[in-house]
Amino acid sequence: MTDPTAEAPWPGDTDTVRLSGVRTLSDDWYTLRKYTFELKRRDGDWQSASREAYDRGDGCTVLLFDPTARRVALTRQFRLPTYVNGNPDGMLIETAAGLLDALDPETAIIKEVREETGYAVARVEPVLRLFMSPGAVTEKLHFFLAEIRVGDRLHDGGGEADEGEDIELVELDFDEALAMIARGEICDAKTVILLYHMRVTGRL
């Protein structure tokens, strides 16, 4: 019998979950796999199930903030999934972010910040590691904070054009950013989490 774990990541069977099969459904931009498994219910019975999991690798994101000016630096770019699900122009205001791509999280996010915003940060502060859509996506997202001085950039940013990126820098007063969440103008989960983190911890 073919070992189903040979085709996809699998941490191993346990006393409560056993893998019986895995099939790759798509391997284009990212990888979509269908897992068949048995799960032991709380009453002791085993139940067969199948789920599809979208594997895009783990990611990282950072809130750039100027504590003196009480301003934050965000990005704005087109996001197709939001466009097909009710976002009129598909544009989303977000914290700088990207995939790890075999780098450690700190190195990856410093690289993304430079590419997307033009800011150069030497140090980032880790604050959270969260699964953002655990019902369908394997991604674990690493959250960071980094201090900047607004306007002190190396270049204009904008992302990597050959990767289809056309990223605009959006610098906002912190209180205005919070108000934009309330008005629904900032509706990206990772961005809301980091802005609210700054509010509840009193960092800005």
The predicted model gives 69-95 an average pLDDT of 97
Question: Are 145 and 166 in the same domain?
Answer: yes
Question: Are 120 and 32 in the same domain?
Answer: no
Question: Taking phi first (over 0 means left), then psi (-120 to 50 degrees means alpha), and beta for anything else, what does residue 201 get?
Answer: alpha
Q: Are 174 and 68 in contact (CB under 8 A)?
A: no
Q: Residue 193 has which token pair?
A: 């989490």
Question: Are 128 and 104 in the same domain?
Answer: yes
Question: Are 85 and 129 in the same domain?
Answer: yes
Contacts of 167 (CB under 8 A, 6+ apart): 75, 76, 77, 116, 117, 157, 158, 159
CATH number (domain holding residue 185): 3.90.79.10
Give the pLDDT band of residue 29 (cuts 50, 70, 90): confident
pLDDT reported for residue 7: 65
Q: Which of 20, 39, 55 finishes a domain?
A: 55
Question: Are 100 and 191 in the same domain?
Answer: yes
pLDDT digits (tens, 9 = 90+) for 144-170: 999 999 999 999 999 888 877 899 999
Give the pLDDT band of residue 1 (cuts 50, 70, 90): very low
Question: Are 141 and 68 in the same domain?
Answer: yes
pLDDT reported for residue 6: 56
Give the pLDDT band of residue 102 (cuts 50, 70, 90): very high
Strand, coil or helix: what is 8? coil
Question: Are 95 and 186 in the same domain?
Answer: yes
Question: Are 97 and 23 in the same domain?
Answer: no
pLDDT digits (tens, 9 = 90+) for 106-156: 999 999 999 999 999 999 999 999 999 999 999 999 999 999 999 999 999
Question: Are 29 and 98 in the same domain?
Answer: no
Report the relative pairing of strands 59-66 and 140-147 from DSSP bridges.
parallel
The predicted model gives 39-43 an average pLDDT of 97
- Tell me 194's DSSP state: H
Exposure of 74 by Cβ count < 10 A (0-12 exposed, 13-18 middle, 19+ buried)? buried
Nearest 5°: phi and psi at 192? -60, -45
Q: How many domains does the chain have?
A: 2
Question: Are 65 and 11 in the same domain?
Answer: no
Question: Are 109 and 71 in the same domain?
Answer: yes
Contacts of 47 (CB under 8 A, 6+ apart): 38, 39, 40, 41
Give the pLDDT band of residue 4 (cuts 50, 70, 90): low
Range of the domain at 146: 59-201
Question: Are 169 and 85 in the same domain?
Answer: yes
